[in-house]
Amino acid sequence: MHRHGYRGTKFGRERDARRALLKSLADSLILRESIETTLPKAKEVASYTEKLVTKAKKGGLHNRRQVITALNTLEAAHKLVDELSPKLAGRNSGYFRVVRTTTRRGDNAQMAKVSFVDDLAAKKTSKQAAETPKLGKKGQQKADKPATASKAAEAVRDDAVKKISAKTSSTQAARRTGRRGDR
């Protein structure tokens, strides 16, 4: 039998289990910025997360929602869109590095470490540099109008996140109970 049209590694799992595995690995990779797993999983999660980073860099509500659906937690999605993607603005692709490490003791599987190519902790975006406190003559913090504007924008974003998470939790509750609406 030929392999035409088959994409990706199957990992000996059904489709839904495979998707859940990739979602959780991508979630951990974004939150921790580096993970260690088996080599085939590392290659697959790097490819999966590269596409998410590209969507996050485009910005916009639609792309943010697509990133949210592709990850397990809202925390990881917002970290990717708000913090990590501005730091990766200089790159068009190739955001991750896959490095082979040792073999696993139990089954001798080749392990690999996946991490961002750029050192994201060292980079400061212009947005973060603008948010650092400015000191006056006597070491007092100056009042900025842009800082209040960013706080207002952050409050609006938090309200949107609450609405999305409330809608998601009610939908999940309906799926668990098997009831939709007021039936």
User: Residue 7 — very low, low, confident or very high, per pLDDT cuts 50/70/90?
Assistant: confident
Cα angle value 74/79/82 (rounded, 5°) = 115
Query: Which strands form 110-116's sheet, in the order they lie side by side?
Result: 34-38, 110-116, 96-103
Write out pLDDT tens, residues 42-89.
999 999 999 999 999 999 999 999 999 999 999 999 999 999 999 998
Taking the complete model, does pTM exceed 0.75, yes or no?
A: no
The residue whose two tokens read 């990766």 is 88
